[in-house]
Amino acid sequence: MSSKTLILVTGANQGLGYYAAQQLAATGNHHVLIGSRDVNKAKKAIETLAADDSVKVSASDLTPLEIDVNSDSSIAAAAKHVEQSYGKLDILLNNAGIAQQQEAAADGSGPSLRDIYRSHYETNVFGAAVVTDAFLPLLRKGSAKRLAFTSSGLASLELAAKPNTLYSANNYPIYRSTKTALNMIMLHYALSLESEGFVVSAADPGYCATNLNGNSGFKDPRDGAKELVKSVVGEKKDVHAVMVSDDGVVPW
């Protein structure tokens, strides 16, 4: 295992993170840490991945890691565990995210608009930033020096300005704003770490059918996960400091 690239994927017990972990582990070149808030869900995901005959994955190439991106203590504990177990991290894929209601109830029931914004930003933006900061010392010790973020085409201001399209800013205002902010964080790290040999990228997986959207997406998450994989192993010239999709680089 020491010769294999060590990758942490947050939110990897389901959805896009799950399939990205599957595709990475299936190469036989990577050891993937399955990040999850509930370590038992991570263990169950590994069992399911190993039992899936459609894509051959060895359970020995997967390890569960408890990490709640909304908890600083959980993030610190996860980083300490990785340091003690491996001494480094080669690749970090910040994938954990949420997409919940986009407006407060008119009758005042349920969470306030401020609370809805806060919950989205806590996970999608603050969580990714804190995880990156916590694992950066270990990434500096790794050989690959790769950092990636699961973003969305909805983050694009250029696409959002186009009315009467799926990308119009009329749709999903809170969720998409977190991904726009996440892209700025990605770009910050891409420029500030480039001199150290890092490759930093964001991925637009497309509108995939996952629990994130109640499985309403029209795209197979297996296909969307390919963009996540591209962001962490693609050639620097193709992925560094940009957001990639199956159509190429997504405009800002």
133 close to 225: Cβ distance less than 8 angstroms = no
Number of CB atoms found within 10 A of residue 189's CB: 20
Q: Give the sheet arrangement for strand 243-245, strand by strand.
A: 62-66, 30-36, 5-9, 91-94, 146-150, 199-203, 243-245, 248-249
Task: Read off the pLDDT of each residue in 87-114 and give the average, rounded to a whole number.
Answer: 91
Alpha carbons 169 and 165: distance in angstroms, whole number? 9
* Radius of gyration of the chain measured on its C-alpha atoms: 17
Where is average pLDDT lowest: 36-40, 83-87, 147-151, 204-208?
204-208
- The reported pLDDT for the residue numbered 16 is 94
Q: Distance between CA 168 and CA 157 in Å, rounded?
A: 9
For residue 65, is pLDDT > 60?
A: yes
- Cα 95 to Cα 25, 125, 197: the distances in Å are 16, 11, 22
Across the range 42-54, mean pLDDT stands at 95
Q: Is residue 192 exposed (0-12), middle (13-18) or buried (19+ Cβ within 10 Å)?
A: exposed
The CATH architecture annotation of domain 5-250 reads 3-Layer(aba) Sandwich (3.40)
Is residue 107 over pLDDT 90?
no
Mean of the per-residue pLDDT values for the chain?
Answer: 93
Residues annotated catalytic, as ranges: 175, 179
Tokens of 159: 């696409």
What is the pLDDT, as a whole number, of residue 236? 98
Decide: pTM greater than 0.75.
Answer: yes
- Banded pLDDT at 217 (limits 50, 70, 90): low
Task: Kindly tell me if the per-residue pLDDT of 213 is higher than 90.
Answer: no
What average pLDDT does this structure show over 63-70?
Answer: 98
Q: How confident is the model at residue 105 (pLDDT cuts 50, 70, 90)?
A: confident
Q: How much is the pLDDT for 214?
A: 63
Q: Residue 59: is its pLDDT beyond 50?
A: yes
pLDDT in tens, 2-33: 589 999 999 999 999 999 999 999 999 999 99
Q: What is the mean pLDDT of residues 66-77?
A: 98
pLDDT class for 110, splitting at 50, 70, 90? confident
Q: Is 1 a residue whose pLDDT tops 90?
A: no
Query: Would you say residue 78 has pLDDT above 70?
Result: yes
